[in-house]
Amino acid sequence: MAAANAKFIVLIGFFIAVEASLLPHSDKITHLPGQPQVQFQQFSGYLTVDEKKEKSLFYYFVEAEVDPHSKPLVLWLNGGPGCSSIGVGAFSENGPFRPNGQVLLRNEYSWNREANMLYLDTPIGVGFSYSTGSSAYETVNDEITAKDNLVFLQHWFLKFPQYRNSNLFITGESYAGHYVPQLAKLMIQLNNKKTIFNLKGIALGNPLLEFTTDYNSRAEYFWSHGLISDTTYNLFTSGCNYSRYVSEYYRDSVSFICSRIMSEVNRESSRFVDKYDVTLDVCIPSVLSQSKIISPKQNSERIDVCVEDEVTKYLNRRDVQKALHARLIGVRRWDVCSNILDYDMLNLEIPTISIVGSLIKEGIPVLIYSGDQDSVIPLTGSRTLVHGLAKKLGLNTTVPYRVWFEGHQVGGWTQVYGNVLSFATIRGASHEAPFSQPERSFVLFKSFLESRPLPQEF
């Protein structure tokens, strides 16, 4: 009898699995307006993470181009806090398409060549994610975001049970230097009771990991790239450093000295130079502005040197929103970075490098990479933090600092500690590395997934 019951349960389980994999999925995207024909499937929609506060998070899921069920699952998060992973990550950086006028162009270096890519608009109030419960947008913080992200993932696996056992990686950039380690920490805590997540590694691009180190690497970066003078560099390091300024700024108490020094820094560095890529002379659309928030602005009126913003136009089309099963709730239009979210900006000061350390101790491999033309979270700060963490954990160098190759050219530099903590730069890349160096970023991503050393020669 018991055996018969067990068989029955197995049978039921089998039917549920068949149903999940064969029947049309309500979140399946049949066709995005203007998209070329592709062989892979796309899904998007909402998952409720809090019934009481009516909080719903929006995701966009792109299956791998070939053989998705044997490929890893990768969650990608953008930062801000408050910027859209769908708008920035999927449609400008490493997703399969980029909007161009009325159509979508294929991104040849889309990360779904190697993985199933899951993009999440988080927290509520970002992109198409929303809450209809009153006052839910007030002072959202890291803790709430991490909890909601965790619930989202749990619910997502109920919707896509076929990916439950896939190797899972969590990736992101900028303020996701907070989101990703904080989420991974909660996942490990759950796993220690009962294995739920098959977490195999995390990768962070130009991440905010430690407030003072990251912010104070800006002065030297500006100075060494000619953005500020010797005199101003001295003031920016001894009179008022950048971490002090940001700290005062978010407490509404900017001192006279900091105000004066920052005016000079801003005057010299000029608002016509993109701080997310100090060397490229191109127009980086305002869509790529996720850290405009972690980098407070001095002038209230900002001049956007870009006339067009393809992603914003595309995602504001009614037919596109319909195809994505997306709704605009509580806002008139879709924005790259949220105007309604009221994030607790003092959370910027929470160090997450120590959480990264605890993940490594749990055996989770970590890659910290850095687009080397970014002055917002410069490579120098990240490199110092990684080196310091390796020392603290007693990890010896396993790959000494060296160049790595993409094709016949140097893709950047790398160093690996204890075969588990990796640092890499991406040469010529901006804050949004996959946007400005898609090919090099793709090589880095592939090596990371395969836990293989970066190409040493061509």
Ligand X SMILES: *[C@@H]1O[C@H](CO)[C@@H](O)[C@H](O)[C@H]1NC(C)=O
Give the interface with ligand X as residue ranges (CB under 6 A).
Answer: 212, 216, 237, 241, 243-244, 394, 396
Size of the chain in residues:
458
Closest listed residue to residue 388, CA positions, set 410, 357, 414, 364? 357
d(CA 394, CA 396): 6
Residue recorded with tokens 């020094």 = 261
Residue 243 CB, nearest distance to ligand X (Å)? 5
Residue 312 CB, nearest distance to ligand X (Å)? 37
Closer to ligand X by Cβ: residue 92 or 241:
241
Closest listed residue to residue 82, CA positions, set 24, 25, 137, 15? 137
Closer to ligand X by Cβ: residue 62 or 395:
395
Closer to ligand X by Cβ: residue 195 or 396:
396
Residue 261 CB, nearest distance to ligand X (Å)? 11
Q: Write phi, then psi, for 118 (nearest 5 degrees).
A: -115, 115
Closer to ligand X by Cβ: residue 24 or 394:
394
Contact (CB, 8 A) for 100 and 314: no
Residue 216 CB, nearest distance to ligand X (Å)? 4
Tell me the torsion sign for CA atoms 382, 384, 390, 396. Answer: positive
Residue 181 CB, nearest distance to ligand X (Å)? 23
Closer to ligand X by Cβ: residue 210 or 335:
210
d(CA 356, CA 256): 36
Beta-sheet pairing, 366-371 with 421-426: parallel
Residue 238 CB, nearest distance to ligand X (Å)? 8
Residue 225 CB, nearest distance to ligand X (Å)? 19
Beta-sheet pairing, 421-426 with 409-417: antiparallel
Query: Per DSSP, what are the bridge partners of residue 205?
Result: 173, 369
Closer to ligand X by Cβ: residue 133 or 296:
296
Tokens coding 455: 């190409």
Q: Strand, coil or helix: what is 164? A: coil
Residue 256 CB, nearest distance to ligand X (Å)? 14
Contact (CB, 8 A) for 125 and 45: no
Question: In whole angstroms, how far apart are CA 455 and each of 399, 407, 446?
Answer: 12, 9, 11
Closer to ligand X by Cβ: residue 153 or 262:
262
Tokens coding 252: 């509404």
Closest listed residue to residue 309, CA positions, set 132, 145, 92? 92
Closest listed residue to residue 299, CA positions, set 278, 271, 338, 276? 271
d(CA 112, CA 104): 16
d(CA 357, CA 416): 15
Contact (CB, 8 A) for 209 and 352: yes
Closer to ligand X by Cβ: residue 248 or 274:
248
Contact (CB, 8 A) for 209 and 356: yes
d(CA 94, CA 86): 10
Closer to ligand X by Cβ: residue 39 or 396:
396
Kind and range of the H or E element at 275? none
- The residues assigned a catalytic role are 174, 374, 431
Residue 296 CB, nearest distance to ligand X (Å)? 16
Residue 175 makes CB contacts below 8 A (sequence gap 6+) with 78, 79, 80, 81, 207, 208, 290, 291, 293, 294
Tokens coding 240: 């008022």
